[in-house]
Amino acid sequence: MSESPPTTTQLPAQSPPVDPAETTEAAEHGAPAASGARLSWWHGDGGEGAKRNLALIGVLLALFAIGAATRSDLYANPDWVWANMLSILKLASVVGVVTVGMTFVIIGGGIDLSVGAIVALAGVWCTTVATQSFGAGGMIFTAIIVGVAVGLVNGVLIAYGRLVPFIATLAMLVAARGLAAEISQKQTQISENSVINGIASNSLLGIPLLVYILAAVVAGGWVLLNRTTFGRRTVAVGGNPEAARLAGIDVKRHTLLLYALSGLCCGIAAIMLTAQATSAQAAMANLYELDAIAAVIIGGTLLSGGRGTIVGSLLGVIIFATITNLFAINGLSTEAQNMVKGGIIVAAVLIQQVQFGTLSQFFRRNRLTTS
Amino acid sequence: MTEHENGVTEHETPLVEAPADTVAGEVVLRLTDVVKTFPGVRALDGVQLEVRAGEVHCLLGQNGAGKSTLIKVLAGVHRPDSGTVQWLGNPVAFANPQAAMRAGIATIYQELDLVNDLSVAENAFLGHEPRRFGFVRRGHMAGRTRQILGRLGHAEIPPGRMVRSLPAAGKQVVSMARALSHEARLIIMDEPSAVLAHDEVGNLFRIIRELTAQGIAVIYISHRLEEIREIGDRVTVLKDGRTTAANLPARDTPTRDLVSRMTGRTIEYVFPDRPADTADGDELLQVDGLTRAGEFADVSLAVRAGEIVGIAGLVGSGRSELLETIYGARRAEAGSVRMAGRALRPGSVGAAVRAGMGMAPEERKSQALLLGEPIYRNVTLATFSRYARFGFTDVGRERAEADRVAESLEMRPRDVRRAVRTLSGGNQQKVVVGRWLLGDTKLLLLDEPTRGVDVGARAELYQVIRQLAAQGVGVLLVSSEVPEVLGLADRVLVMREGRVVRTAAAGELDENTVLDLVMAGSLMEGAPA
C-alpha cells in the first residue's frame, strides 16, 4: 500500500497458550509407535471414546470424593455407601433408558425433543382403566406400542416429510403432552397393577429390578451400536449422509428407524416411571429431553452426528444422578443443583474440546488439510 | 508409453541449484534445512527455499511431499523443529498466524477462509478494521478496499457486496485484497486455480502479474505443470519433505526433469497399454433419452462389459448430473436406465447398487468418505451388510477384505485401521474406488477420479481402472482433463450444454478436436464453477 493509513489498529493479541494445530495434528497422526496399545484408542474400532470415558469415570470418582468429604459420617458406613450407589443407579435408570435411544438419534445426525412427552403419553395410555383391565402384559404392550408409534410419526415427518428434526420433535413434544392431558382428563391415573408397581419396588439379589432393566437396555444399545449393521449405518448416516446414500444405504428408512428406536426406549421408560410413581399423569417425565440430551453431550457424542458412545451417555446420566444425590444427602436445594448441573455441562464439553482439539478444529476447520 | 516404465526408475536426486540470474529482486525469504516432525511422521526433512521479491516461486511436489506443512510453517501455524527461516534478512519464528500476517506474509488457502455473511470490505479488513474510538470507520474501510480492489484490477467489485453472492473467482480476489490490506510482501497461494473454471485462471494470472510488478513475492502451488510454465519464474521441488531441486527456471526446465524430481519417475501421464479388443463384451448399461430440465436432455448411451466410456465436457455441461442420475442419486424426468436389459427404478441408489453399479463421486470428502472413520470401514461402506451374519457385522472379515483392497491398490499407509482423514488425496481416492472392488460391481461410474491426485497416484489409478475393465467391469468416466479421457477411454462422448454432441472411438479424436467441441459457441464459460 503506497500511503499509510491514518489509524492502524493492531490486531488484538489472541495467541492461544498452546498451539492448537499441533495438538490436533498430533492426534491425527496418532500416538508414537512406542505405545502400541494406545494406538488402538485412536485408530481402533469401538475404542474411539475409551479415553473420553475414562475422563468421565474420573469425574465420577471426584464426585464420590466430594461426597465422602462433605458427609464423612455417612460414607464411613460401607453398607450405606452400597445402598446409596444403588439408589443413584435407580435414580438414573429411567432417564438412562431414554438416553440410550437419544444417543442413537444424535449419532444418526438428528435430535429428539419429544422423549419426555412420549414417556408421559405412553405412561398415561398404559394406565387408563381400559388398558389396566388387560393386566401387566397389556400395559407393557400398550406403552411400547405407543412409544414406537409416536417415534415412527417423528421419523416419517423427518425422513420423508423433510422436516428439520428440531422442529418436528418440538411439535411432537407439544402435541403428545396435549394428547396425554386429553386422555387422562388432567387427572393422575393410579396404577392398580401389582406386577407393574413391583418393577420399581422389587429387587433381585439385592439389586433393584429397575437397575437390571437399565443394564439390559444399555447392553442391548451397546451391541446394536457397535456390533450390528444397524449401528454401522447409524454412524454412516450421521457422519456423512450423502456418502451413506451414495454407498447404497437407505438413509431415509434408517432415519425413520432411529426415531422409532427412541420411541421404543421411551415406551420402556414409561413403564419404569409409572411403576416408580405407581401412577401416571400428563406432566410426568417433565424436561427429560434436556436431561437426556445433556447426558449424551457429556458422554462425548458429537451433536452434529457421526460419533458417540453408549457407555459415555450412561456415564453422563450417572454423573447427573450422582450430583442430585450429593445435593440431597447434604440437604441442599434443587435450585442450586440445577445451577451446578448447567455448569457441569459446559465444563464437560469444554474439557473434552480442549483435550481432543475439537475446539481448535472448529476454528481451523478450513485450514487443516493434512498433507 | 507403456506400463513397464511406471514407477521403477528411482532417482537418487542430488540437490540441484540452478544459477538464478534471471530474477533480479532481493531475497526476501530464505529457508535453510527446515525440519518439522509430528509424532510418527517426518513431514519436513530438510527444506531449502529461496524466494525473491517480485517473483512467482512455484512449489512442486506430490501429495504428502510436505507442501502443506511448509506453508503452515511460513504462515505461523507450525514452528519448525530445526533449521532457520530468514525473513527480510532476519531469522524469524512466528508465534502464530497473526504474527506472520503482521510481518507481511499472507496465505491464501485452497478453501478460502472468508466469512460469507460479511461484506467484501469487512472480509478484507477482518480483524484489523480501521477504527476510531472503538467504532469501525466504515467509509474509510470501504475506500481503502476500493483502492486495493483497483490495484488488483477488480474495481468493479463493490466493497459493500456480501461475499456469499460472489463466484469462486471473486472470493479469491477478496482473499488477495485481504492479503494486501495487511501490506503483505509475500503471498502464498495454495492451489488457487483448483476452484476456478478454465477461463478464470487467466484472470488470476493477470492479478498475480500485477502483484509481482509491485515487488510482491508469490509462492504458487499447483499440480498443473502448464500453469507453472505460464506464470512461474522459478521452481522448487519437494519430495518426501525434502527439497530435491531448488530454483529451476520454470519455463525452460523439461517436464521430464520436473516430474522425475517429484516422483523419482520419468513419466508424466502414464496410461497403461490399451487392450486390442474391447467391443465384444455384452451390453451392460443402456441409457435412453435421459432428461432432467436445466441439467441435460435426451442423453442416450451404452456401456459394454469391459469397456471404458469417457465423457468429456466442461464444468456445467451436465456431465456430473448425468452420472448421478444414471446412478439413481437424482431422479430422471424422462428416459430410462437399464442394467443388463432390466430397467432400474428411477431415483433409487439402492436399486442401482443392487444391480451392480458403483460410483466414485466428484467430491470425495463431502460425498464419499466418513473422514473420522477408519479406512476399512470406508472401504466396506457399501458391502458391510453382505459380510454380516444375522445383522451382526463381521469386523474381521471386513478388515481382511479391506486389506486385500489396500494391497492391490498399494494404499499408503497400509494399516486399514487409520482414519481416512490422515490420508493424502490420492489415497483417499483409492479408498473410494476400492470400495467398489468389493461386492460384485459390474459398472463403475467415476466422476473426476484424479482431481487433486498427484501424478504418481494418478498412474496407479489409471492402472486400476484398466485392470477392472480387463476383468469385465464396465466403466463410465467423467473428467475435465481431456488427455485423461482420451488416454483411458475406449469410446468418448463429448457433452456440451447438457447434450451429447459427439460420440466416437477414442482413437478417432484428438485433444484439440475435443476441446473445440467442448468449447464451441459455448455460453457455459460464465457458469459458476
Distance CA B492, CA A327 (A): 74
Task: Say whether residue B349 is in contact with chain A using an 8 A CB cutoff.
Answer: yes
Distance CA A223, CA A344 (A): 29
Task: Say whether residue A41 is in contact with chain B using an 8 A CB cutoff.
Answer: no
Distance CA B345, CA B457 (A): 36
**Which residues of chain B are within 8 Å of residue A42 when distances are taken between CB atoms?**
419
SS3 B27: strand
User: Nearest Cα to A317, choosing from A60, A38, A21, A43?
Assistant: A60
Q: From the CB of residue B162, how many other CB atoms can be counted at a distance below 10 Å? A: 15
Q: Could you report the per-residue pLDDT of A67-83, keeping only the tens digit for each?
A: 888 888 888 888 888 99
Residue A364 belongs to some domain of the structure: no
H or E, element range at B447: strand B443-447
H or E, element range at A190: strand A189-190
Say whether A247 and B395 touch across the interface (CB within 8 A).
Answer: no
For residue B347 the three cell numbers come to 431415483
| DSSP H stretches of helix in B165-214 | 168-181, 198-213
Say whether A21 and B374 touch across the interface (CB within 8 A).
Answer: no
Residue A369 belongs to some domain of the structure: no
Residue A31: partners with Cβ closer than 8 Å, 6 or more residues away: A38, A39, A41, A42, B39, B40
> Is 90 exceeded by the pLDDT of residue B13?
no
SS3 A1: coil
Query: B282-356+441-449+472-529, superfamily in CATH?
Result: P-loop containing nucleotide triphosphate hydrolases (3.40.50.300)
Total CB pairs under 8 A between chain A and B: 167
Q: Could you report the per-residue pLDDT of A87-107, keeping only the tens digit for each?
A: 999 999 999 999 999 999 999
The pLDDT-based confidence of B474 (bands split at 50, 70, 90) is very high
Predicted pLDDT at A116 = 94
What is the percentage of chain B residues whose pLDDT exceeds 70?
A: 86
Identify the sign of the CA torsion B100, B106, B110, B116: positive
The pLDDT-based confidence of B263 (bands split at 50, 70, 90) is low
**How many residues make up chain B in this entry?**
529
Instruction: Report the pLDDT averaged over residues B229-246.
Output: 87
Please report, for the domain that includes residue A217, its CATH number. Answer: 1.10.3470
Domain total for chain A?
Answer: 1
Beta strand pairing status for B131-132 and B491-496?
Answer: unpaired
For residue A86 the three cell numbers come to 444403588
| Residues of chain A where predicted confidence (pLDDT) is lower than 70 | 1-49, 351-371
**Which residues of chain A are within 8 Å of residue B423 when distances are taken between CB atoms?**
370
Residue A35 belongs to some domain of the structure: no
Q: Could you report the per-residue pLDDT of B142-169, keeping only the tens digit for each?
A: 999 998 988 888 888 888 888 888 887 8
Predicted pLDDT at B387 = 86
Distance CA A211, CA B466 (A): 59
Sheet architecture: strand order including B186-190 = B16-17, B242-249, B234-239, B56-60, B217-221, B186-190, B105-108
Residue A100 belongs to some domain of the structure: yes
> Both ends of chain A: CA-CA distance in Å?
33
Q: Angle between the A229-239 and A209-227 helix axes, to the nearest 10 degrees?
A: 70
> Is 70 exceeded by the pLDDT of residue B527?
no
Predicted pLDDT at A354 = 61
The residues facing B90 across adjacent strands are B87
Predicted pLDDT at A99 = 96
CA distance B254 to chain A (A): 26
The residues facing B310 across adjacent strands are B477, B492
- Best of B67, B239, B417, B447 to substitute, by most chain A Cβ atoms within 10 angstroms, is B417
The pLDDT-based confidence of B39 (bands split at 50, 70, 90) is low
Task: Say whether residue A342 is in contact with chain B using an 8 A CB cutoff.
Answer: no
Q: Which ipTM score applies to this complex? A: 0.74
The pLDDT-based confidence of B239 (bands split at 50, 70, 90) is confident
- Best of B42, B60, B98, B191 to substitute, by most chain A Cβ atoms within 10 angstroms, is B98
Q: CATH 3.40.50.300: which residues of chain B?
A: 3-104+185-263, 282-356+441-449+472-529
SS3 B142: helix
Question: Who among B39, B183, B370 is closest to A239 (CB)?
Answer: B370
Predicted pLDDT at A310 = 93
**Which residues of chain B are within 8 Å of residue A22 when distances are taken between CB atoms?**
78
> Is 50 exceeded by the pLDDT of residue B11?
no
Question: Who among A29, A44, A243 is closest to B422 (CB)?
Answer: A29
CA distance A11 to chain B (A): 6
SS3 A4: coil
Which of 3.20.20.140, 3.40.50.2300, 3.40.50.300, 3.40.50.720 is the CATH number of B3-104+185-263? 3.40.50.300
CA distance A23 to chain B (A): 10
Task: Say whether residue B98 is in contact with chain A using an 8 A CB cutoff.
Answer: yes
Task: Say whether residue B302 is in contact with chain A using an 8 A CB cutoff.
Answer: no
Residue B348: partners with Cβ closer than 8 Å, 6 or more residues away: B328
Task: Say whether residue A366 is in contact with chain B using an 8 A CB cutoff.
Answer: yes
Identify whether the C-beta of residue B141 lies closer than 8 Å to the C-beta of residue B125. yes
The residues facing B302 across adjacent strands are B286
Beta strand pairing status for B217-221 and B56-60?
Answer: parallel
Distance CA A215, CA A93 (A): 9
Instruction: Report the pLDDT averaged over residues B512-519.
Output: 71
> Is 90 exceeded by the pLDDT of residue B277?
no
Query: Which residue is closest to B126 within chain A, CA to CA?
Result: A11
CA distance B6 to chain A (A): 24
- Stretch among A179-188, B170-179, B253-262 having the lowest mean pLDDT: B253-262
Interface of B with A in 190-209 (CB under 8 A): none
User: Nearest Cα to B60, choosing from B186, B221, B256?
Assistant: B221
Say whether A240 and B384 touch across the interface (CB within 8 A).
Answer: no
Which domain, by its residues, includes A117? 48-355
The pLDDT-based confidence of B63 (bands split at 50, 70, 90) is low
Residue A278 belongs to some domain of the structure: yes
